[in-house]
Structure 1
């Protein structure tokens, strides 16, 4: 066992029955530095002062990353009372780690012009705007073709292997900040686009594509303008000890600020992390297989989600030892007939929840809302959600909430096992569903399906769940 930062870490190794990532995953190590960059700016009230808004560090950070030897780190350090860096888009290189020291913050610029895509055929001036086109109609079989242009991510990892983002410092995307040349912030723009489902252009914080071996370690992520971490086309991604909080000022509205979103990837581990944000805490997109989510804490957000896109399938996913404290949903699988597919071999176990509106939502009825409706919206499409071989074991919600377990039709019945599943105070009229078969394990459940069309199969007495030792002491403050 390994100790670090006051936690006890257990190596996650191949072959153990509770792991789905096929790699041997152990606590990452911070590499030696190839160069140390001293901060030239000083943060005031956790922000960049107006006089410093044009003093970008982008070029010197990028030059250091480009020249760093693989296997080493570019280290951002405090110096002479200065503790801040200000940057536009950065591109990581194979084998290089960006290391942010404790007490140092890397801020994203609030100038949309620095994030603009460049090149032939790119429409200029889109970043920081709502698309001047007919709004997208929801649902649609596919998203409309994007305009050529928009915003580059704050940090890109594209076709680069074994990249690290590490350290006890902070990356702050400043989604709350008024954009230079505009009368709104990134988050205000996102909310303004919502009523008509308009497309809008904003940077994501960290975007990785074909980034095998990517590691996020001990880093703190604040106030992303949009998704914090988006990973695609990657074999081997580890997030260990990540502290993600957005918005950092309570009461602010941070729409579409998902925490960690893997898609079209395999061999993923997210562990010992703390996620408090304005959308899905974790959202597993389509095409994910062999993923382990172990020993994590969720706070504000939309829960532990799969979807809404599942059309290329998701499989072999384990969620173990999770607390969800006032998320809107707990265990959430969301899709519909315009974007669904086969989702199978999922295990959720040893999960404690409180203050969760929908502790369980297995839904083929997704309508782009924060929580799932209980009735079929009767969309048309041929990408059919199909949920099979799902096990919920040792699950407790200490407060009441609604449960939905549904399939789209009799040919695509949801098949799920409940083994030691309890939602305290739940009434029969709070249990919803149809076109589903629920097998009740020997650990039992207090969910009453009598007011639903769900088929219930009793336990055969095998594979009984161990009883949760209790959830009261599992809820701890955000760290």
Structure 2
């Protein structure tokens, strides 16, 4: 009956239908009830836990009205004592669990049942204030400080946030309205943020309506993000899906995102603050991603990239009704670098741009950026692309006296909605192309070899070899 009711709520809208189809398939796949009893539940994770408990054991009330902020804090505080004894798992049972911000602990798993909904409080007193991020120097919405994320952790190791595609609802409309009215005195909270940590897994969840960015690992390493369904209205402000930020050895796969901003944005700090902090994002693999974002990118590299971005590998990507595919965003004053980027296998439909590299993305943290800090953009590789009904094939805009070099584009077929428009607009770039239609600009010299392909690494990153364990726990 729950599945039938879900189906009845789906409209003919492509985006809504797309999300509903995913939810229906997952609901069918995960029905494991036997006479109303759920037991011996299995789930994949980087680490299994010796101890488990329910949020109800710590006073949680899943009625959608009672605040569970203290229950989450009390539960996790108590379970943290098991960190040296096999770790602990906190089960959030079926129900609607209203809560403000709470912090995770090490050697810990937060598990959401299939019919679980965690609902973010709109009471600002339940959101602690944090200092600005050191690689940003200020808040993004307001200069001083920021609200803690709904689910937050720092200086942790071995953390899992997962479930049977239970839902986290950020109730973002409250925050979006304040943003549009210019009423924010602190930067909006993110949905999930984990910083200065390692061995992180975020998987098999449905995330909707974040106040700002959805998933933000920062200053962290050894990260697996998989099986997320992320959705926000396509006109919601800054609702990026997944933003690995100054992170190393990161694997993002099998995610479906509808967003008001970039579906995935790889970042590493803002202007002089990112340069000083100096922590790059590197060794990142993104695969089997589906994105809908009419005003932004499927994958953005930047615009905050001042600590550097290197060795990003993206493949098997699908974007529909999205402004651009894999876009680089930078500017004078950013410094840093974006290099050794490898993209293979994109299926695109109804895009504004297939290829877009921007050297004039001029949003700055403040006026103290160094105008002599020029970004190094080099070694950018795209291959095996099919794009239909696109407005423009490419806008490749380097910086005068700082050309973007080593651009390679091969095996590309694009059909355009209006062939009378200039399809390739290239300035201050250097590179090569092969087997590309329509014919690229002269700055991308054409290779004559029939089987020339832009490079894509054969060797695997360490994070790709990490195998998840089959873990289990008993639950009624």
Query: TM tier, shorter chain?
Result: 0.7 to 0.9
Change in 2 beyond 3 A, CA 1:104/1:230: same
Change in 2 beyond 3 A, CA 1:345/1:7: farther
1:243 aligned residue: 229
User: Structure 1 residue 446: deviation in Å?
Assistant: 2.2
User: Structure 1 residue 97: deviation in Å?
Assistant: 1.0
* TM score, norm. by length of structure 2: 0.74
1:396 correspondence with 2:386: yes
2:326 aligned residue: 331
Contact persistence 2:145–2:186 (CA under 8 A): no
1:76 aligned residue: 92
1:40 aligned residue: 61
User: Which whole-Å CA distance do the structure 2 matches of 1:144 and 1:164 have between them?
Assistant: 29
User: Which whole-Å CA distance do the structure 2 matches of 1:27 and 1:60 have between them?
Assistant: 26
1:408 correspondence with 2:404: no
Per-residue CA deviations over 1:7-64 (Å, capped at 9, x if unaligned) read 99xxxxxxxxxxxxxxxxx96368456101246233xxxxx4xxx2xx2111112221
Change in 2 beyond 3 A, CA 1:439/1:455: closer
Structure 1 spans left out of the alignment, 5+ residues: 9-25, 43-47, 124-140, 177-184, 370-378, 467-479
User: Which whole-Å CA distance do the structure 2 matches of 1:463 and 1:92 have between them?
Assistant: 49
SS in structure 2 opposite 1:202? coil
Aligned residue pairs: how many? 384
User: Which whole-Å CA distance do the structure 2 matches of 1:221 and 1:340 have between them?
Assistant: 34
SS in structure 2 opposite 1:424? strand
1:204 correspondence with 2:186: no
User: Structure 1 residue 464: deviation in Å?
Assistant: 3.6
User: Which whole-Å CA distance do the structure 2 matches of 1:7 and 1:419 have between them?
Assistant: 40
User: Structure 1 residue 148: deviation in Å?
Assistant: 4.9
2:172 aligned residue: 175
User: Which whole-Å CA distance do the structure 2 matches of 1:193 and 1:152 have between them?
Assistant: 20
Change in 2 beyond 3 A, CA 1:142/1:95: closer
1:220 aligned residue: 206
Contact persistence 2:138–2:144 (CA under 8 A): no
SS in structure 2 opposite 1:305? strand
For residues 77-476 of structure 1, what are the structure 2 equivalents within 5 Å? 77-78=93-94, 83-117=95-129, 148-168=144-164, 169-176=166-173, 185-193=174-182, 200-247=186-233, 253-286=235-268, 287-300=280-293, 302=296, 303-368=298-363, 381-402=371-392, 403-425=394-416, 427=419, 429-441=422-434, 443-449=435-441, 454-461=443-450, 463-464=452-453
User: Which whole-Å CA distance do the structure 1 matches of 2:152 and 2:123 have between them?
Assistant: 18
User: Which whole-Å CA distance do the structure 1 matches of 2:411 and 2:324 have between them?
Assistant: 19
User: Structure 1 residue 317: deviation in Å?
Assistant: 0.6
* TM score, norm. by length of structure 1: 0.73
Change in 2 beyond 3 A, CA 1:465/1:152: closer
Return the structure number with greater strand share: 2
User: Which whole-Å CA distance do the structure 2 matches of 1:243 and 1:59 have between them?
Assistant: 28
Change in 2 beyond 3 A, CA 1:199/1:327: farther
Task: Identify which of structures 1 and 2 has the higher relative contact order when contacts are C-alpha pairs closer than 8 Å and 6+ apart.
Answer: 2
Q: Which deviates further from its counterpart, 321-330 or 60-69? A: 60-69
User: Which whole-Å CA distance do the structure 1 matches of 2:378 and 2:448 have between them?
Assistant: 18
Change in 2 beyond 3 A, CA 1:305/1:150: closer
Structure 2 spans left out of the alignment, 5+ residues: 1-24, 30-42, 269-279, 456-476
User: Structure 1 residue 282: deviation in Å?
Assistant: 0.4
CA RMSD of aligned residues (A): 3.1
Contact persistence 1:189–1:200 (CA under 8 A): no
Change in 2 beyond 3 A, CA 1:463/1:202: same
